[in-house]
Amino acid sequence: MTAPMAVIGGTGLASLDTLKIAHRETRATPYGEPSSPLIWGELAGQTVVFLARHGQHHTIPPHKINYRANLWVLHHVGVRQVIAVAAVGGIRADMGPGTLAFPDQIVDYTWGRHSTFFDKDLSHVTHIDFTEPYSAALRERLIQAARDLQLDARETCTYAAMQGPRLETAAEIRRLERDGCDIVGMTGMPEAALARELGLRYAACAVVANWAAGKVPGEITMAEIERNLVAGMDKVKTLLMRVIPVLESA
């Protein structure tokens, strides 16, 4: 069995209850163990593979995720399109909690992560084009589905990928804003680049879980994040039901 599409779930989406599960599959990879078993099932009449980025019980922090194993195993089982769901902080004034965002650009501030498949036993050096880090066709399908559903979504923005697992300081957020970033997360890289190396069509669906540090008074609490993600992930599930049936031709 092969699958034309996959959903990678992040914080707030460790499982996909709208998926009619067919079976679970655990696979080893040349890069170690993926974050979770592959959950095969049917969503909106299509075969979909779900993978929990942080593990089945959300136990893997962003800097410890085995991004190479995750992307390799999806590619190995036949996935060609990936919707990556992630929780983020809002920097731009219109990026309030609960908003959906479909980034079209990314700035990588991470370090020390295994960020390429092309790092040993090489016959030549490989450089991928990363001018547009997300699949334009897949982004357009997500955007159109959000429009059809009249969801509160931002159709263009720049994602700042931070190291984590701590949240950012207010000064760091001011720096990111000066750099042109609109949302901030911890898992966007190297995931997007690895997908590009494998030739996967990859797009992100971000859910704003909180205002970024310093944007509103007070501390950022996990209770606040979790509360906002409940409503935000319900929107994501509705979006997936709409967009999955039209992805095979994307």
pLDDT at residue 246, as a whole number: 87
Q: Is the pLDDT at 120 greater than 90, yes or no?
A: no
What does pTM read for this prediction? 0.93
Phi, psi of 181 (to 5 degrees): -85, 145
How high does pLDDT run on average in the chain?
92
Q: How far is the C-alpha of 6 from the C-alpha of 41, rounded, in Å?
A: 10
Q: Say which CATH topology domain 5-116+127-243 has.
A: Rossmann fold (3.40.50)
Q: Is 212 one of the annotated binding-site residues?
A: yes
Q: What is the mean pLDDT of residues 156-176?
A: 97
CB contact at 8 A, 40 and 47: yes
Per-residue pLDDT tens over the stretch 36-93: 999 999 988 889 999 999 998 889 999 999 999 999 999 999 999 999 999 999 999 9
Q: What is the mean pLDDT of residues 192-198?
A: 98
Q: Is 99 one of the annotated binding-site residues?
A: no
Of the listed ranges 77-91, 92-106, 120-134, the least confidently predicted one is 120-134
Q: Is 54 one of the annotated binding-site residues?
A: yes
Q: Is 187 one of the annotated binding-site residues?
A: yes
Q: Is the pLDDT at 17 greater than 80, yes or no?
A: no
